[in-house]
Amino acid sequence: MSETKICPECGQAEQVEKVSTIYLLGMGLKREQGQAMRPWLSEMPQVELKALGKRLSPPSAGRGSPVRPLHPDLVVATFSLVIPIFLAGIWNTQPGMRLPAVLVLAAFYGLYLWKRKAILKRFERQKAEQKAAAQRIQSGIARWMKLYYCAEDDVVFAPGGEAIPADQMPGYLLENQT
């Protein structure tokens, strides 16, 4: 059994359990037998325990987590490796398309060089935003690991901290980070 923690809301410890433990129990990823489990948890129907575990789940990047952006120069370099093959094909089979093909390529590279600074700036910004988001989730999970839940008041709290309504936990974990 984990160390007893006192809920700052009701001053009791009987209905308190670690948030991560409830989450794992709810997901069926952890089994605690008999005395090891708090009475209020062992008496809870599995359906309710599952619902509670879901409410107390850790912050995650979500399903639509964006793909790591590729450096624009790398994209252009890769493109440049294949383009001679296409160009050679046009050169040999469609003599009339030689000039238009070269002009289109020249326009593409010209446009890229002209806009490169802005494109790189946007890339760096995207990279920084992704990194910041990943760090926020990571420190959110670290905070989540330290939280306790009190069933009496439906609040979560960090030892020595204030009580937060369980439904406000996601916002608490990701915002007001120091």
Say how far apart CA 54 and CA 68 lie, in whole Å.
28
Kindly state the helix (H) or strand (E) to which residue 37 belongs, with its residue range.
none
For Zn ion, give the closer residue by CB, 2 or 126.
2
| In the complex, minimum distance from the CB of residue 45 to Zn ion, in angstroms, rounded to a whole number | 21
C-beta neighbour count of 23 within 10 angstroms = 21
For Zn ion, give the closer residue by CB, 32 or 152.
152
Q: Which chain residues interact with Zn ion by CB under 5 A?
A: 7, 9-10, 150, 152-153
Say how far apart CA 148 and CA 23 lie, in whole Å.
11
For Zn ion, give the closer residue by CB, 23 or 149.
149
Handedness of CA 137, 141, 142, 143 (dihedral sign): positive
Residue least distant from Zn ion (Cβ): 7
Residue 165's DSSP bridge partners are 155
For Zn ion, give the closer residue by CB, 7 or 166.
7
| In the complex, minimum distance from the CB of residue 11 to Zn ion, in angstroms, rounded to a whole number | 7
CB 16 within 8 A of CB 5: yes
Pairing assessment for the beta strands 155-157 and 148-150 based on DSSP bridges = antiparallel
| In the complex, minimum distance from the CB of residue 6 to Zn ion, in angstroms, rounded to a whole number | 8
| In the complex, minimum distance from the CB of residue 40 to Zn ion, in angstroms, rounded to a whole number | 11
